[in-house]
Amino acid sequence: MQKNSIELDETDRALLTALQKNAYATGQELSDMLNLSASQIGRRRQRLEEAGLIMGYRARLDPARLGLDVQAFVQVQLARHGSDEGASFTRLLSTRPEIISAWTMTGEADYLLRVFCPDLQTLNRLIHEVLLVHRSVSRVHSQIVMDQPKGDAPLPV
């Protein structure tokens, strides 16, 4: 098992920020940016990966170009708060590819879902034929995303 936390110096933070912006930044490019030899960049990078700080590398796609024109946040309230209902609802989440992310919040046992759909009709079908018919869902409120003034900034390391 990895260590829970490791000491990060300024170079580590700069490296993490750079890799959050471009995972394909080459050792030489990073070397120039951070004033450190390419071999040390590789060594630090490996250390950060092994420590679990870097969980992986992903391609970022353009939803609009994929035809995913409707983006929404859906708040779901469960009728009862037993662990049974939660587990059942969590299973439902995993079966729906349109639901990209789901979070539970403090206070009430309700969920916030982030959803991508090709059109409004698909979103409405998801809400009415999937979420609202689930036995423990009591209320659903959805808000369509208009614009994204700030998107996917790097984590503040």
Under the rule (CB under 7 A), what is the footprint of DNA?
26-28, 36-40, 42-43, 45-46
Q: Which does 157 bind (CB under 5 to 8 A by kind): DNA, a second copy, none?
A: a second copy
Half-sphere exposure at residue 76, Cβ-oriented, CA atoms within 13 angstroms: 31
Three-state secondary structure call for residue 110: strand
Q: Which is nearer to a second copy, 3 or 133 (CB)?
A: 3
Task: Identify what 42 binds: DNA, a second copy, none; CB under 5 to 8 Å per kind.
Answer: DNA
What are the backbone dihedrals phi and psi of residue 113, each rounded to the nearest 5 degrees, phi first? -115, 140
Q: Are 103 and 150 in contact (CB under 8 A)?
A: no
In the bound complex, what is the minimum distance in angstroms from residue 153's beta carbon to DNA?
Answer: 24
Dist. CA 111–CA 140, nearest whole Å: 10
Residue 60 contact among DNA, a second copy, none, beta carbon within 5 to 8 Å by kind: a second copy
Nearer to DNA, 52 or 82 (CB): 52
Which CB, 38 or 48, lies closer to a second copy? Answer: 48
Backbone angles phi, psi at 77, to 5 degrees: -105, 130
